[in-house]
Chains A and B, each alone.
Chain A
Amino acid sequence: MNLPRALLLILPVAALLPAQTYDLVLKGGHVIDSANGIDRVIDIAVSGNRIARVATDIPSAQARKTVNVSGLYVTPGLVDIHAHVYVGGRLNALFPDDTALTAGATTVVDAGISGWRTFDDFKRTIIDKSKTRVLAFLNIVGHGMGGAKLENNVEDMDPVATAKKVKQYPDLIVGIKTAHFGLPGWDALKRAVEAGRLCDKPVLVDSSILSNTKRSTREKVLDIMRPGDIHSHTYNDRQLELLDRFSGKVQPYMLEARKRGVLFDLGHGGGSFLWPVAARAMREGFPPDIISTDSHPSSYMLPQVTMPNCISKLMALGMQLSDAIRRSTEAPARAIHRYPELGTLGEGRVADIAVFKLQHGTFALKDSWNAKLLATRQLECVLTIRNGELVYDLDGLAFPLWSTAGDYEVIR
């Protein structure tokens, strides 16, 4: 029997089922799904690994399990396009599941720890074994990240071999990364762009502009990067001359670059989020297009860079929650050419969902220099669904009381 005919047999039966049509209903939450223009209280039903229905008042009777999420925010699973999860590569990284899924990020993109020579190992050891959807920017350096000696070796920056590897895994590799290039000139960035051109993918750029590199921000964002390429570390003043150092105004070439389609990504990390830069840029109307963490073992500790933490920081500087969620879901999904597959709660999409509590109080948010800003709101992930499976539930919202559940086995 071929598949379409099988579906014809099944569908009418499913439509006639009187009850428990859905595996899970999230009831009463405030849904933020920018792609569908939703920013209000509405229910979400999941069947299998898909979003089955988004509607007001989906009856609990139709669900095997109902989770009351009233008072909470429900968003598409966050997409963190700048993470470091190739544990076992040459740069220190974090396993994705216990760090990303607990923060509502259901998709993380490893930003260039692997290159074309090491990607297969990354895939085998981490991508294939993680519950988190793990994607990759492939480093233009064949050996990937691993210190100045490897990363300054222009000989190992092969656009053809890199593009070939991207084409071998079009579902996993979303683009090219260049980073940490310590020699003068544009070799690394130009080769990354060339690889991006060969495989029609964006380049994620980390590139410092110290005077001895003979590189300028203007040339980088106007002449070399293409529309759709992404500059990370937007608020790192050693990577981009975003603000005029005398007037504090946004440089005209940054506005022009944005206009021509170059994207700017947060990439917080251990060195790239400075309150003086971020506060001024936000005041001057230059928010990052995309919110991402650049999380790794040291940025995870004192600066606590998870996605909700980065969102809280931008909210403290005036960004609206719904706008911050858009820049953490739909915007990154589009940037890596994976929209609308990712970054939305549209019916029929994979059920990657995050639920957040917006806490009110006094919170110390620390930048990469361990300087703090006292904020009055902080976003906390309380529940995560990945591929239809409930993988994280901080307060046990989805589970019954032990005292009334009898001699239960593991409750799913």
Chain B
Amino acid sequence: MNRVFPLLLLLVQHGDTQEPQIYDLLLKNGQVIDPANKRNGRFDVAVVGNKIARVGQNLPAAHARVVVNAEQYYVTPGLIDIHTHFDWQGADLNLQPDHNSLTNGVTTAVDAGSSGWKNFEAFKTRVIDSSKTRLLAFLNIVGAGMYGGNVEDDVNEMDAEAAAKMVLKYPRILVGIKTAHFQPPTWDAVDRAVKAAELSKSVAMVDFHPKPGRDYPELILKHMRAGDIHTHVFGRLIPQLDSDKKVQPYMFEARKRGVLFDVGHGSGSFWFRIAVPAIRQGFLPDTISTDIHKNSIMLPRANMITTMSKFLNIGMTLNQVIERSTVNPAKAIRRPDLGTLSEGVIADIAVLELRKGEFGFLDSGHGKLVGDKKLNCVLTVRDGQVVWDTEGLTATDWTRAGPYSNFK
């Protein structure tokens, strides 16, 4: 009897009070913008291990190993950049993913067709498998990808079955099919890319140069399917606007059909003289992305956080910008587990600061827009781990860190 009694008491106590959960990281009181969950307000976000454990109010700081006061900041899902070029070991213009993504709050980057079915596995081994950034990919419809000379114009290189087979082999990495840079005035590249996407039940991302006999309205009204993505929507070669700078009716019609329009800023595809009137007329991009590579990272500064700032200063709201950098790209690549702060998902989080002041932003032609807002990523959590922390929000002041030395 004497032995049973305390045990019963213990059981009763356990039933009465919920066992407190210990958080590994608690982001306190930030302005959470999580469009996937229609959240835009002050919340605490708690991480346990590599997962989002709780999103709520008044989560106890005493239960957390590391507490970040996020009062001055916006807390968003880790950003998703669906148009990148990160095969840095394979292609000359490609950049390294981690320091170009995680520093911008981007936790998921999608390589847009640098590799094709013939060389994707090499790309996976040499880059994807060892990146901290979640690196996904569109597979180029060209078997050899973007690596070699005139191969991108060679229709014989575009094997829809082989491409689809590769996508189906790596469904957690390959999100769709890319077609790009195709110069002959035929529909072969687009049609084969769409065919491969159809066969693999994935998405086609299209980079398109209109030619006589191959015009843009026909692309977005006939050849692309609902859910397919036209990238470089504010590029110079695309007739989005009429001569009075009015958005063409077929743009809205295609959108109604479900075709998605992506930014893909890059070194040639983002012009204020197109984007500003289009956005003022209510034609916003569905997804914001960078087309980041060696020639776009420097002068137009086409990284994610700067690109988002450009849209903010054109007049989009912060909520619209975050939506188009998180939940929208997640939906576009059919990964509802990404771009959200839902409880239970992998903890990919960005903490952003909205600076006020006077800032200049360049487009692909180096025309400048002067704005009064600029987003800055101050902290990034990837897979539960703090990987970027410019304000030292998780760092101890050195005078309170005790004696430390490389000898210990």
Among B95, B272, B297, B395, the most chain A Cβ lie within 10 Å of the Cβ of B395
In the complex, the answer to whether A276 meets B96 with C-beta atoms within 8 Å is no
B395 & A370 in contact (Cβ 8 Å cutoff): yes
B360 near A402 (CB under 8 angstroms)? no
B50 at the A interface (CB under 8 A): no
Q: A95-B96, A98-B95, A373-B397 are in contact. Are A393 and B367 (CB under 8 A)?
A: no
Q: Give which listed residue, B100, B393, B407, contacts A98 with CB less than 8 A.
A: B100
Whether A276 touches B363, Cβ cut-off 8 Å, given contacts A102-B298, A302-B388, is no
Q: Check A87 for interface membership: any CB of B closer than 8 A.
A: yes
Distance in Å: Cβ of A361 to nearest Cβ of chain B? 11
Pair B98/A297 contact, Cβ less than 8 Å:
yes
Check A98 against B89 for contact (C-beta < 8 Å). Answer: no
Chain B: interface size category: 35 or more
The total of chain A residues at the interface (CB under 8 A) is 54
Binary contact track A266-302/B, C-beta < 8 Å → 1, others 0: 0000010011110100000000000000000100111
Q: For the complex, is A374 an interface residue (Cβ under 8 Å from B)? A: yes
A371 touches B404 (CB 8 A): yes
Given known A-B contacts A276-B404, A399-B362, A366 and B367 have beta carbons under 8 A apart: no
B398 within 8 A of A: yes
A98 CA to B397 CA in the complex, in Å?
30
The stretch from A17-25, A169-177, A403-411 touching chain B is A403-411
Cβ 8 A contact of B398, one of A271, A372, A393, A409: A372
With A and B bound together, what is the CA distance between A407 and B363 in angstroms? Answer: 13
Interface status of A151 (Cβ within 8 A of chain B) = no
The complex places the Cα of A410 from the Cα of B299 at a distance, in Å, of: 11
Is B406 in contact with A301, judged by CB distance below 8 angstroms?
A: no
With a cutoff of 8 Å between Cβ atoms, the chain A residues found around residue B100 in the complex are 98
Q: Judging by beta carbons under 8 Å apart, are A366 and B405 in contact?
A: no
A129 within 8 Å of B (CB atoms): yes
List chain B residues, Cβ under 8 A from A407: 273
Query: B88 near A87 (CB under 8 angstroms)?
Result: yes
The residues in B between 369 and 391 inclusive whose CB is less than 8 angstroms from any CB of A are 369-370, 386-391
Given contacts A98-B100, A98-B297, contact A396 B362 (CB under 8 A): yes
Are A397 and B360 touching (Cβ within 8 A)?
A: yes
Chain A 231-265: CB-based contact to B (< 8 A → 1; otherwise 0)? 00000111000000000000000000000000000
CB-CB under 8 A from B294, the residues of chain A are 95, 97-98
- Chain A interface main SS type: loop
Residues on B with beta carbons closer than 8 Å to the beta carbon of A408: 365-367
Task: Determine the chain B residues whose CB is within 8 A of the CB of A403 once the complex forms.
Answer: 272-273, 369
For residue B41, CB closer than 8 A to chain A, the reply is no
- A371 near B398 with CB under 8 A, answer yes
Would B298 and A402 count as touching, CB distance under 8 A? Answer: no
> Does the CB pair B359–A395 fall under 8 Å?
yes
Q: In B95-137, which residues have CB < 8 Å from any A CB?
A: 95-96, 98-100, 102-103
Given A370-B395, A402-B273: A95 in contact with B95 (beta carbons within 8 A): yes
The answer, yes or no, to whether B328 is at the interface (CB within 8 Å) is no
Given contacts A276-B398, A396-B368, contact A301 B103 (CB under 8 A): yes
Query: Which residues in B have their C-beta under 8 angstroms from that of A276?
Result: 398, 403-405
9 closest A-B pairs (Cβ-Cβ)?
A: A364-B392, A402-B367, A396-B360, A372-B392, A275-B398, A371-B398, A395-B360, A238-B406, A396-B368
For the complex with contacts A364-B395, A371-B404, 15 further pairs of A-B residues with Cβ separation under 8 Å are: A88-B89, A95-B95, A237-B406, A238-B405, A301-B102, A302-B389, A304-B390, A366-B392, A369-B404, A370-B395, A372-B396, A374-B392, A374-B397, A396-B368, A403-B369
A interface residues (Cβ-Cβ under 8 A, vs B): 87-88, 94-95, 97-99, 101-102, 129, 236-238, 271, 274-277, 279, 297, 300-302, 304, 364-367, 369-374, 390-397, 399-403, 405, 407-412
Q: List 11 A-B contacts (CB under 8 A).
A: A88-B89, A98-B297, A279-B398, A300-B99, A364-B395, A396-B362, A396-B366, A399-B360, A399-B367, A402-B272, A409-B365
Chain B residues with a Cβ under 8 A of chain A = 88-89, 92, 95-96, 98-100, 102-103, 271-273, 276, 294, 297-299, 301, 359-370, 386-398, 401, 403-407
